[in-house]
Structure formats: C-alpha cells, structure tokens
Chain A
Amino acid sequence: MSLADLSILELARLLRAGSVSSREIVADALDRIAERDRQIHAFIRVEAEAALGFAGECDAELARGVDRGPLHGIPYALKDIYDVAGLPTTCHSKLRLDAIATADSAVAERLRQGGAVLLGKLATHEFAFGGPSFDLPFPPARNPLDPDRITGGSSSGSAAAVAAGFVRFAPGSCSGGSLRGPAAWCGVVGLKPTYGRVSRRGVFPLAWTLDHCGPIARTVEDAAVALQAMAGHDAADPGSADVPVPDFTAALEAGVKGLRIGVPRHFFRDHAGLSDEASGAIEAAIARLRAADATVADVELPEQRLFAACGRVVMTAEMFSIHQEHLRTRLADYGQATVNRFVLGATVGAADYINAQRLRSKLKAAVDETFQQYDALLTVISLSTAPRFDTAPNASAWGIQANAFNVTGHPAISVPVGLAADGMPLAVQVIGRAFDEATALRIAKHLESCA
C-alpha cells in the first residue's frame, strides 16, 4: 500500500508514531506529481522547496510534542483563486498572471495554522467559471480516470489532484456546482458546506451570494477532517456565520437508522438527459438507505428549473459587476467560454436581479419547510458520466444538478456510489439542513461504505 492510499487520519497516526515523516509524505506526493501531472495538468504551480521546508518544520514540531491537529504534516493544494501570500492568484486567467497576493486567504491561513503543507496551486476554469478551455494561459485539468475526458468544473484541478492521488484533499469553491460536479465526475467526494460556514476572505469572488468554499477529498472522512480545519467565523467575510462548529467526524459511523430522507424525484425523473445508469445509481442508493432502516420518501420541492433560473440570473448579474470594467477594456484577454456568458450580465436589469433574489427567498423557504419533516435530501448530482473533451457540450448543458443548493445555501455533498459501464464514476448528492453538515456527511459515509 502506498502513502497515497492512506487516509488523513491514518497518515496522522503514522506521523505521531514516528513511522513516517511529513517530509517523506510530501516527497512522495511530489514524486507522483512529477511523474503523472504532465498528463493530468492538475497543477498550475508546484512549490516543492517551500513544501519540503514546511514539512521539515512540521516534523520538528511533532518531535518536540507540538501537535497542530490531524492535518499536521499532511500535504494539500489550493484552487488558484485562493490567495497565498507571495504567490500569484491567477484564476487561470491571462488577466491575473502577475497578481501576487499580499496576504493569505482565510483558508490558507487556517490550514497553515493546522500544519497542512501546501504543495502548490491548482487549475480551475477561468475565474471559477469558464472552461475547460484551450485558449487560457494554462492547459485544462484532465480526468485522471480517463485523461481524454473532462473533469467538470470549476474546481477542476482540485478534483483531478485528489483523484490522481497527489493529495488527500484540496479546497475548491462552488457557486453552482463547482465542488460536487467535478468530484462526481472524478470519483471523489465534494463537500459544499452551508453558506457562511467557511470564510471566503482572500478568495477571488465569482458571485458573492452564491460563493462557497469547501473541500474536495478522497473520502467522506477526509472531507470531514478537512472541513473541520477550514470552518469557522471570520468577521472579515461579511457572509461568514458566527455559529458553533461541531465535530464533523463524531457521528460519521453512526449509520442511518431512523433518519428521514426525502427524494425530490421530480428534479431528475423526467429529465431527457438522465442516463439509465445515473437513474440506477440513485435507486440503488435509496435501496441501501432503506436496507439500513432509514425512511426514504419522495418529496415535492419547487420545480428544478426555478432554482436553475434563479441561480443563473443571480450569478450572471453578480459576476458582471466584478468584471464589467475589464470586459470593456480587456475583453480579448478572457477565454471564449468566459466571455460568452460573462457579457450576458449586461442584459440583466436591476428588477431582474431583485426578482431573482425574491424568488430565492421563496425557494429557500420551501426547502426549509421540507426539512421540518426530513433530516436530509437525496438526489442525483450528474445526469451522466464525464464526457470526452472532443464531445463535451457547453458547460450549461452538462447536466450537473447542483445549483439549487447554492441558491438556498444548504450544505450538500456528492459521494461516489459505483461505476458505469464505461468505467467512469457515478455519484449522488446528499443535502442537509443549514449548518447540519454532520448529518449529510453521516449519510454520505454510509453510501460510500456500500459502494
């Protein structure tokens, strides 16, 4: 068994037993990156020397009895929209190749305090939106399970780096499915926490009211451990929530007996793009939950297209407010896929935006009402498996059904549940009550263990 096959907590135990050092873990990860990332392109930038140096410090601290927690000495990498002091935050864009960060993002700061070792910066779709594209300064990340296929996005490098075994976890961001989508297509776990759970300070925004930071990780347990270190109130992020952070790993093994789980079947049932295998995957997940004595029943939420429209209009308006000046003066420096949709912000009027936010209030209320009777929701995350680069449709037609819970802010996690006939992963998503990531993680853990 290689070091890449060991979970964060297993590595943490070995580190404390003196069976392995952080430098050895980091060096092993760097070797794998050097060997395989020329094909995968998960990394935009590798900081080998700095990583080995910090790993050495971590080893010395552990030897002195200084223990920063379960991530102490564990390597990770960051989507390149997170600031790290002294490094450029390129957003995978020609517009920001020289944008050197002067301070760490809140997540980078927290992870460093927790002893996690940064290996480098990861590919993303341009500005966490436009891609995968070949007209950007860095190549798009490829799916480690089949490099001819896309990863999904926008946290493309994060999912690729985890699926390739370069790191056990990689923080990404999500404004409409950018954690759960690529995680599902790469066969790893993507966790979008509740809006406000993780600070976005120092993370380049896409759409402020939809943006969430969260981990992509190899397993549900790894995701829980990573979220534990990332979560917490930060007054410097006006969207950050001052709420207690529970122990996300405490109930992971509690099973699902007695839990009430609702399935908004109308989200996907009649969708023309739903593959038989994706349909089979969610039915199998439902059967597994029932077999473990959970109560699973269909629920009615508002139409999925209302969530989709609401999210699209809000995102289009907000991202335009960020980029409009550069769209006027430097449009040619954006990739085509980005331009195609960024400029549509010019077509959204003030009343459109306000009405979308009013509709959002109704949609959130409807979901909250459902949670009065149910502990969690279960639905599909992708209508099919990852497409090939040469046949992938426009991103808006990928069939990732994630943005509903960016609109409402509820926590949602995608978890692999099997493989399709083409060898690519199938996944489902579990949604929890606001600030109840723990229950969603517990259900995902059960589904993962059955896969």
Chain B
Amino acid sequence: MPASISAAPGNASMTSQTDAVDPASELAFLLHHAGITVPADRWDAVLAEYIAFRPHLALVNQALLPEDEPAPVIMMHPAVGRP
C-alpha cells in the first residue's frame, strides 16, 4: 500500500467519476478512512479490482439526472415485502 496519500477526496461518489484522481491514492485514502489495512502482498490485486469497479460507480451516478424521480428500491420494503 502506498505510504503517502496524494489526494484527499471528500467522498468516493465524486472522486470515482474523476479520472484525474490517481486510483491508488484514492483507494488508499478510503481504506485508511474505513480503518482497513490491506497487506502489501494483496495490494495489487485489490487495486486492480478497484480500477475495474470505478466505472460501475461512475455509471450508477451518471445514469440518473438530478431531476429524475425514481425513489430508491427500499431494502425489504415493509409494505410490499419485495423490491
């Protein structure tokens, strides 16, 4: 894991859509913030997964316009009992 963090993004939903942010630094910051320490021998594999995952994060945010109406599927909807 990189020893220093070059970017200090405020939240992943913004940074994940920003190609300018170095994914390794971003991931290191977010894992540190979550209190998770990835051993050095696992870092490359985790980073590779993160790089593959970022487009998914970007897509779910880009696929909706702010004025879009859909409410979220509420987990275990108490009235309906299903999504």
Residues of A within 8 A of B (CB): 194-196, 208-209, 238-242, 305-306, 308-310, 312-313, 316, 318, 324, 327-328, 331-332, 336, 339-341, 343-344, 346-352, 354-362, 364-365, 394, 396, 408-409, 434
Contact = CB atoms under 8 A, between A and B. Distances in A.
B60 A349 contact: no
B13 A351 contact: yes
Interface of B: 11-13, 16, 26-27, 30-31, 33-39, 42, 45-46, 48-50, 52-53, 55-57, 59-61, 63-64, 68, 70-76, 78, 80-83
B12 A343 contact: no
B50 A361 contact: no
B27 A347 contact: yes
Contact of A365 (B55, B70, B82): B70
A310 B60 contact: yes
A344 B53 contact: yes
A340 B83 contact: no
Given A328-B35, A344-B50, A358 B83 contact: no
A424 to B, nearest CB: 26
Nearest to B35: A328
Given A336-B45, A344-B53, A328 B36 contact: yes
A344 B71 contact: no
Main secondary structure of the interface of A (DSSP, over half): helix
Given A195-B83, A364-B73, 12 more contacts: A194-B82, A239-B75, A240-B81, A306-B59, A343-B31, A343-B38, A349-B13, A355-B60, A360-B72, A360-B73, A362-B68, A362-B70
A240 B50 CA distance: 33
Contacts of B63: 306, 309, 355, 359, 362
Contacts of A348: 12-13, 57
A243 to B, nearest CB: 8
Quick one: which of A312, A313, A346 has the most chain B CB within 10 A?
A346
B58 to A, nearest CB: 8
Nearest to B45: A340
B9 to A, nearest CB: 10
Contacts of A324: 34, 36
A347 B50 contact: yes
25 contacts: A209-B76, A209-B83, A238-B76, A242-B81, A305-B59, A309-B57, A309-B60, A313-B56, A341-B49, A343-B31, A344-B49, A346-B36, A347-B53, A348-B12, A348-B57, A351-B61, A352-B12, A352-B60, A355-B61, A356-B60, A357-B73, A358-B70, A359-B60, A360-B72, A360-B73
